[in-house]
Structure 1
Amino acid sequence: MRLVGPWTIVAVLPLFLTEVRSIEPSQCIAPLGMESGTIKDDDIKASSSFDHGHVGPHRGRIRNEVHGGAWCPQTQATPDTREWIEIDLKTIHVITATETQGRFGNGQGVEFAESYMLEYFRPSLKKWIRYRTKNNGELLKGNINTYLEHKTILDPPIWATKIRFLPYSSHKRTVCMRVEVYGCKYTEGVTSYSMPQGDKKGSSWELYDFTYDGHWDGEKLKSGLGQLTDGLIAPEDFKLAFHQENTQGWVGWKNDTREGKPIEIVFEFDRIREFTAVHLYTNNQFTRDVQVFSEARVFFSVAGKRYKGEPITFDYMEDRIFETPRNVSIKLHHRVGRFVKLQLFFASKWILISEIAFDSSPTTGNFTEEEELDNNIQGDQTVVSGPENKNPISAVSSTGGQYLGIIVGILAVAVVFMIVVVLYIVHQQRKYKSSPRPSQIPDKAALYRTPSLGRLTTSTDYEDVRNPEYAVPLHQSSQRCRTPPNLQNFFPKAPSLPPPSEQYYAATEIFRQGTGPVQFKPPPPPLNTPPPMRHQMPPQGRYGSGGGNRTFVGP
């Protein structure tokens, strides 16, 4: 992220104001199932019951009037809380509110709890934790009669798999309770984070993680959750959190107390996850020595004991123009792990953070703990380093990861086979086009035949035409794309046969004898008769037998 000028900063300013929240408490308000029966009887327990069948823990469902109509402990309530009713939610839930009611018992009940306490359990805590409000209070307001419900909003919310209600009374009295819990299932996956406790600024402002529910060992916080994951955003001015009641504060660290070392925060998740981004909501009041970190490094681990491989490194461009808090997002390039370690380097005297949230999803596969690895690559990571070995990218191991090589090999063989087939077809086509094909050369002897005076043959290769001089070839289907030239322009027309000699009627006997009353005179020749020609005729014929001059009559 690099800012090159004031107009660029103005353009990206709306992004700074975007709030990052791991959850949205205002949307996490659904009843979890005591009234509806979603929570089964087997998941409701109690320290004791006056009569298990009539007023056992499974009767402690709000707005239900079954048998005795509530859960009633065997002993009376006192300031020393010993009795409890427990609800097992099976998985981690965010509990944002609780609701209680006394025992109405069809108008016969007179028992209710005026106050109560809460305890909750989460696997990472390994023990039951007493709930405290932001004001460090433990007592929550209960009921004033046996029939009206009372709902309490929890600030901060509770992250728990189990929760207990402990009736409380400043004096000894009999109590009965019906309860309900509100919230939603926790899907972000963070079960705990460990880090140094915040520092004190001046003599008035303690920038501590007050709602942290883990172990506070000296300056080290371990195995708990607190302000960094509660979904609540601190005000722009960190001082307002100390002047306004019920206002979320900032967690801050001072550079002078760290000897130049970065702030290190380790997050533990419920299972191995694939990470795409992390978002940090930070303060930037540089006029009060508070700035966004100059550099962040993100490490990943499967078992949480060793963090191998190159970290993802993020450099932040210093902003000394706008003092508004902003959301800083870091891409994590689908890295895999169950533990994530953040190292934040100081850019000024103070670093203030209100919320940290991750974009992740559960993943499955064969993952080996870091201690058993011989290389410097975590699991199935493939590290791709930049010019300064920053932002390495890892390949994700999934359920089908072990078959990836086989699938890629099969696809590669199929592609090579297709290429070979295509090249073979192209080669055959080129070879076919370059070689002469007899079928494409017209056979003149087959197209044209010697004229015949008789009847044309009945071959289907020729049309039946009136003029028998030349045989006309039929249109051949194989030569449709090429029309043969008119061969009459190349070959001279064959001469026609000479017409037969004209035959006249033979002279009769009378004519031969030259006697008779009438002497025969031949008819005139037709108009198309060629001009007279002299012929050598036999000595007899067409000459009169009588005397006189021998005159040539005609051909």
Structure 2
Amino acid sequence: MRVLNRRTLLDLFSIFLIISSSDGLRLEECNSQPLGMASGAIEDSQITASSSFDKQSVGPQNARLHTELASGAWCPKPQIHSSSYEYLQISLNGTHLITGVETQGRYGNGTGKEFPSEYMIEYQRPGTDLWIRYRNRTGQNHMTGNFDTTTAVMCHLDPPIVASKIRIVPHSKQTRTVCLRAELHGCNYKDGLLWYTTVPEGSRIGDQDFRDHIFEDTGMYAETGTKRGLGILSDGFVAVASPFEENAINGAWIGWNKHHTGGAVNLLFEFDQIRNFSEVTLAAYGHRMDSIDVIFSQDGNTFPLSSQISSLDKDRLLSNSSAKRYDLRIPLHKRMAKKVRITLKFSSDWLFLTEVHFSSALYNDVTSYNIGDISEDGHGKNAIAILGLTVLFVILSAILCSILCLRRNRPKSHKAGIYDQPIKRDLIITHVGNKPTCNIFPTHSYLGQSAVFGAGNLYSSDKTTSTSVSSKSSSSNKHSPPNWSDFHFPPPPHTSGEERIYAEPCMTLPLLPSQKQNISTPKSAKHTSTTVRQPAKTKNANEDSVHYAAANIFSDSYGFDKIPKFSFANLQIGGDLGEGKFTVIRDCIMPNGYRAAYKSVKDKNNMHARYFFRKLN
């Protein structure tokens, strides 16, 4: 029960890493289909040739089965004979298992007479630039072709071809013109096995020859000097009959004799990339083997002993039964490797194999953890820890994503800034004779609705000691408008003592001397010019008395259109008379010689100042 739990955890953990799986080469699982010559799935750029009689009319792009394009087929430039080498090449997208080749002659709408009577097949796999000449199970390399220009002839390949590129090489014993159309049949190759080697290659004793007769003639050799290729152990055919029967299929078994091999055989399997192996199945015949050692290499050069799996066949020690056909399954515990080496040891006279199947899976390239370090004998805790960390990571990621989504969907809070607060308008604090007063002045809109308003000018007598317009908070660094709590208002002045006159001043009127002067409105005054109002005649008073600014009261019939206006360019600006928080009042001389008070904004970049000044004017 303990072992079962560990295996279950290993299988669950492998789900996070496996992206595709394969159970070895099984022909019944290959749904052989046309690969795209007739349908156009194979593009013209994937079809090339050694030569063409005319590239446009009989070029390789016209070599599509059951299709009449241009002149109807591909025709090589020279005529074909027994020693010629002209080919039609088809490059596939990825490695495929080719199970058949179908050919057809050139019909050419009834004008064609050329067809291939026989041809050869060459192919290429990833990992080499060499072209391999195909040979079937009977050892023949010339495939039977066509006998007319219209009939399509299928050639089933036994064994099938594992390749990414195919060449069809027409052949003829007599010199003749040959044209052909073709289609390839097969499926995607998912096993990943590219080459294997056997040491030794097989045994031949007298008339008994059990060498690998269909092994590819690749011209490639391993470090041990043995040939590399594919053959009986990977052709997808599993023999059932005894290899000693007379009607046994040729090229179905590879056998090793104990006296020839010393009772030990080494098999090396090379794959296209690093894979995750779950088990290997050996289809064998004979007595049970003594032991099996499987060792793995990820880099293709070193085989660490820590990855080795050893299996002792206990049934072999307990049984004295006769030779028979059997399958031997060896768990590989998710080992990760690009090369796998299997060492078989036997004590009987012969050992036969007809097929070797690997159950494997491709790894995600970003996975760096080596599952080969996990096995049933003591490493189950690693699997539990890794599985727990993986689940924890997934949960934390889900929580983090939920928090981010909630924060993104939350409505933004309105932050009230200093510019969102209402600005207190029409407020001015004045100091006249060092006696502060606070007044609320109406805006222009209010003046327009008032029954009466003042049209005179604010002025003071020459005896006024000092006149300034300031704010209590003008010296502070606050950026917000003054608050009512910022001011400390003095009690109203008593009427005893000096005679004083109070009036509601208009902020648009300048402070002028108490002189009666007539001012005419210049014709050149523009709409944007500065507005100046004529001073009104004030009540005579004692020279020692202090006069507060006063304004004459007129009726509604007196409008603003009679107020004289002067261009700013015609004014002569003098020294400062007083200042407030946002504005400053300066002495100025008008074009006709009159003196007036000119008010302007201290800081033109201050929004509150511009707003305050615009409302008052």
TM value normalised by structure 1: 0.61
Deviation at 1:248, TM superposition (A): 4.0
Letter in 2 for 1:151: M
Which of residues 259, 263, 266 is equivalent to 1:264? 266
CA distance in 2, matches of 1:157, 1:332: 28
Q: Which moved more, 1:133-142 or 1:25-34?
A: 25-34
2:386 matches 1:407: no
After superposition, the Cα gap between the structure-2 partners of 1:405 and 1:166, relative to the gap in structure 1 and judged at 3 Å, is same
Q: Which has the larger radius of gyration?
A: 1
**1:351 alignment counterpart:** 351
SS in 2 for 1:222: coil
Contact 1:227 1:354 in 2 (8 A): yes
Name the CA shift for 1:408/1:182 in 2 (closer, same or farther; >3 Å).
closer
Identity %: 32
Deviation at 1:162, TM superposition (A): 0.6
The one-letter code matched in structure 1 to 2:255 is G
Deviation at 1:106, TM superposition (A): 0.4
Q: Does structure 1 retain, via aligned residues, the 8 Å contact 2:125–2:165?
A: yes
> Paired residue for 1:225, among 212, 223, 230?
230
CA distance in 1, matches of 2:394, 2:89: 53
**Residues 77 and 401 of structure 1: is their aligned pair in 2 closer, same or farther, counting only changes over 3 Å?**
farther
Per the TM alignment, residue 383 of structure 1 is displaced from its structure 2 partner at its CA by 4.7
The superposition leaves residues 393-441 of structure 1 with CA deviations (integer Å, 9 ceiling, x where unpaired) of 8979xxx999849739969xxxxxxxxxxxxxxxxxxxxxxxxxxxxxx
Residue 292 in structure 1 maps to residue 297 in structure 2:
no
Question: How far, CA to CA, are the matches of 2:248 and 2:284 in structure 1?
Answer: 21
Give the aligned partner of residue 372 of structure 1: none
Does residue 313 (structure 1) correspond to residue 310 (structure 2)? The answer is yes
Relative distance call for 1:402 and 1:67 in structure 2 (3 A) is farther
Aligned partner letter, 1:272:
I
After TM superposition, give the deviation of residue 140 of structure 1 in Å.
1.0
**Gapped regions of structure 2 (runs ≥ 5):** 1-22, 398-617
User: Given that residues 298 and 340 in structure 1 are in contact (C-alpha distance below 8 angstroms), is that contact kept between their aligned partners in structure 2?
Assistant: yes
Task: Give distance in 2, aligned partners of 1:381 and 1:136.
Answer: 40
Q: CA deviation at 1:380?
A: 6.2
Change (3 A) 1:146 1:410: closer
Give 1:60-209 correspondences, 5 Å limit. 60-209=63-212
Q: Aligned residue for 2:336?
A: 336
Distance 2:381 2:41 in 1: 42
| Distance (Å, rounded) in 2 between the aligned partners of 1:401 and 1:81 | 62
Are the structure 2 counterparts of residues 157 and 130 from structure 1 closer, same or farther at C-alpha, using a change threshold of 3 Å?
same
- Alpha-carbon RMSD across the aligned residues, in angstroms, is 3.1
Deviation at 1:108, TM superposition (A): 0.7
User: Distance in 2 between the 1:246 and 1:239 partners?
Assistant: 10
SS of the residue corresponding to residue 228 of structure 1 reads helix
> Is contact 1:335-1:395 (8 Å) kept?
no
How far apart are the structure 2 equivalents of 1:216 and 1:94? 21
Kept after mapping to 2: 8 A contact 1:272/1:338? yes
Shift in Å, 1:125 = 4.4
Please state whether the residue corresponding to 2:373 is helix, strand or coil. coil
In the TM superposition, residue 26 of structure 1 has moved relative to its aligned partner by 8.0
Of residues 302, 307, 310, the one that matches 2:298 is: 302
8 Å CA contact retained: 1:61, 1:178: yes
Are 2:101 and 2:156, in contact at CA under 8 Å, matched by a contact in 1?
A: yes
Q: Distance in 2 between matches of 1:66 and 1:409?
A: 60
1:382 counterpart = 2:373: yes
For 1:420-475, what per-residue CA distance to the aligned partner results, in whole angstroms no more than 9, with x for missing partners? xxxxxxxxxxxxxxxxxxxxxxxxxxxxxxxxxxxxxxxxxxxxxxxxxxxxxxxx
Deviations 1:209-260 (A, max 9, x none): 11111447699543311110111122331123xx438544211112223345
Change (3 A) 1:402 1:68: farther
Distance in 1 (CA, whole Å) between partners of 2:203 and 2:394 is 58
Work out the CA distance in 2 between the residues paired with 1:325 and 1:235.
Answer: 7
Q: Per the alignment, in what secondary structure is the counterpart of residue 325 of structure 1?
A: strand
- Structure 1 residues 463-508: Cα deviation after superposition (integer angstroms, max 9, x where no partner): xxxxxxxxxxxxxxxxxxxxxxxxxxxxxxxxxxxxxxxxxxxxxx
- Aligned partner of residue 256 in structure 1, secondary structure: helix
1:165 aligned partner, one-letter code: I
What is the CA–CA distance in structure 1 between the aligned matches of 2:124 and 2:324, rounded to whole Å?
37
- Name the aligned partner's letter for residue 279 of structure 1: T
The 3-state SS of whatever aligns with 1:223 is coil
Paired residues of 1:194 and 1:267 also in contact (CA < 8 A): yes
2:32 — aligned with what?
29
Cα deviation per residue 1:108-147 (whole Å; 9 max; x = unaligned)?
Answer: 1111111111111112443001111222222111111111
Any conservation in 2 of the 1:33–1:180 contact (CA below 8 Å)? yes
C-alpha separation in 1, matches of 2:115 and 2:277:
48
Q: Is contact 1:272–1:364 with CA below 8 Å preserved after alignment?
A: no
- Quick one: distance in 2 between partners of 1:147 and 1:117? 20
Relative distance call for 1:384 and 1:25 in structure 2 (3 A) is closer
Spell out the pairing of 1:363-442 with structure 2 (5 A cutoff): 363-365=363-365, 379=370, 381-384=372-375, 386=377, 404=390, 407=393
The alignment status of 1:325 with 2:330, answered yes or no, reads: no
Distance apart, 1:159 and its partner CA = 1.0
Q: How far did 1:299 drift?
A: 1.1
Give deviations 1:42-84, integer Å, cap 9, x for gaps: 1111001111111110100111011111001111111113110
Q: Residue 380 of structure 1 contacts residue 395 of structure 1 at CA under 8 Å; is this kept in 2?
A: no
Secondary structure at 1:257's aligned position in 2?
helix
1:385–1:393 Cα contact (<8 Å) kept: yes
Quick check: 2:24–2:357 contact (8 Å CA) kept in 1? yes
2:41 matched residue in structure 1: 38
- Report how far residue 25 of structure 1 moved: 5.3
Q: Per-residue deviation at 1:379?
A: 4.6
What residue is the counterpart of 1:282 in the other structure?
284
Residues 136-169 of structure 1, C-alpha deviation per residue, up to 9 Å, x if partnerless? 2221111111111111111221111111111111
Change beyond 3 A, Cα 1:204–1:280: same
Q: What is the aligned length?
A: 369
Give the match for residue 241 of structure 2: 236
Aligned to 1:524: none
Counting strand residues as a fraction of each chain, which structure ranks higher?
2
2-structure distance, mates of 1:58, 1:394: 60
Q: 1:142 to 1:408 in 2, by over 3 A?
A: closer
Q: In 2, are the aligned partners of 1:235 and 1:248 still within 8 Å (CA)?
A: no
Distance between the aligned counterparts of 1:394 and 1:121, measured in 2?
45
**CA distances 1:85-123 after superposition (whole Å, capped 9, x unpaired):** 001112221111111110000001111111111111112
- Counterpart contact for 2:194–2:271, Cα < 8 Å: yes
Scaled by the length of structure 2, the TM-score of the pair is 0.55
